[in-house]
Chain A
Amino acid sequence: MTISWSIAGLPPAYLERTWRVAVPDHLRAQVDDFIARTKFFDLPESAGGNDPDGRDMGTYSITVVDRSRAHTVRFSDSTQSADLAAFRAWLDQNLASLA
């Protein structure tokens, strides 16, 4: 399984930053748990952009490739669910250093 994720609109760089990681075996169960909790492969590709009057807000994407399945979800500070936010935070904390 590989996961790539990106953020854009956050300081200091503001431009899009992307990470791509092959998920280590010992973290696989936690990733599977996030995929199940978010119903990741059933989510629409785009959850929508930020509020029209929102400023300095972040936008994000997560792509999961797992054998024959591949799916990308794009979301923002306005549209992220608690579970997606937790998934993204977990990726930052646990996989970014492996990219």
Chain B
Amino acid sequence: MTPDVPCRCFVVPPHIFEYMAEKAETPAHRELARRALASIRENHVKREEEGVRTRIMIDAGMLAGVIAPAVVHRKVFTAHNTVSLPGTLVTTDGVPASTDITIKEADAGAQKTADFYESTFNRSSVDGQGLLLKSTVHYSHQYDNAFWNGSQMVYGDGDATIFDRFTKCIDVIGHELTHGVTQYTAHLAYHNQPGALNESISDVFGSMVKQQSLNQTSAQADWLIGAGLFIPKAGVNRTALRSMKAPGTAYDDPTALGKDPQPAHMSQYKTLPDTPAGDFGGVHINSGIPNKAFFEAAIGFGGHAWDKAGKVWYSALTGGALPSTASFHDFRNVTIAAANTLFGHTGAQVVQNAWATVGL
């Protein structure tokens, strides 16, 4: 394969090949799967001997048409304003239809995010194997947050003074679900630079979910995360949680929120304690730096963010070359290499220039 030939690489678990070896439609595909399995076993033995984690990369084109994407099912629960998870089941794949706006938004957001991953990256759900998407709404009382707990999404109603309901923004839903994708792929550690990359990747893909739902080009997009989540207040800036285009400018409300602390350049990187009180080394703060790099790459490529920049970032996340302890510099190098593989020297130059704008 030459560097100029577009190539997507996936991490494929052996049981997929075991299934293909028996069930694939054509003899050629069954043989392909048998050879891949043999290669996995050979590599596994070798890597175990070398103490290296086993990851197998194959050309996604080889899989096209062989494995039909699994159907992604969705369930939405309500916690009835308690902290009990998952709570009471309300709807499965949108049935029965609910009149509760938070339930409708949670379900629609999960569906659009799953559709985005499938149509853009041929990925079935967060684990690549059609994992059921579970969402719980009305969590706790006036809870000002949304989170991924390792197996499902959880959304608070907001306090109605500073925050509106957390299902309101599809990019927030895409952000939380992408934490699941990262969990099943690069599994980036949740502290310091790998933690900030983890957060940034959730913003990157969450923003693309929103942009695709609005059919926006990179130039048309607002590049805001959580726009509309704050309850507006006269005289203060409550635009959004974060700005990927201009980190550090999303909000400025001295009495209620303070000022957006995100840096946009490595020269402004914030060294914080690796504790809950220090945001585990500023994972939600220093993510502004790789966020800005992705914005610059998307603008540099032009068109829709998911067509080129998104594919580069996805390849970096899922291709197996990114360690769970990756630094910003590691991620920079992996994205440049992925861009070279996918889009040749010109693509690599776009990504390299994007990282240079943030000091990397």
Residues on A lying within 8 angstroms of B by beta carbon are: 6, 8-16, 49-59, 76-78, 80-82, 85-86, 89, 92-93
Contacts and interface: CB of A to CB of B under 8 A. Distances in A.
A8 B277 contact: yes
Interface string B250-274: 1100000110110000000000100
A38 B279 CA distance: 28
Q: Which 4 A-B residue pairings sit nearest by Cβ, starting from the closest?
A: A53-B150, A16-B277, A59-B276, A55-B179
A54 B276 contact: no
B168 to A, nearest CB: 13
Given A82-B84, A89-B140, A54 B148 contact: yes
B278 A15 contact: yes
21 contacts: A8-B279, A10-B144, A11-B145, A11-B163, A14-B279, A14-B283, A15-B272, A16-B276, A49-B276, A51-B149, A53-B151, A54-B149, A54-B150, A55-B199, A56-B148, A57-B145, A57-B149, A77-B83, A82-B83, A85-B140, A89-B142
B33 interface: no
A51 B179 CA distance: 13
Given A15-B278, A49-B276, 12 more contacts: A6-B277, A11-B241, A14-B282, A14-B285, A16-B276, A56-B147, A56-B179, A57-B149, A58-B147, A76-B276, A82-B82, A85-B83
B328 interface: no
B153 to A, nearest CB: 10
A58 B279 contact: no
B257 A13 contact: yes
B250 to A, nearest CB: 8
Most B C-beta atoms less than 10 A away, residue of A10, A51, A56: A56
A37 B279 CA distance: 31
B149 A13 contact: no
Contacts of B272: 15
Contacts of B164: none
Contacts of B202: 55
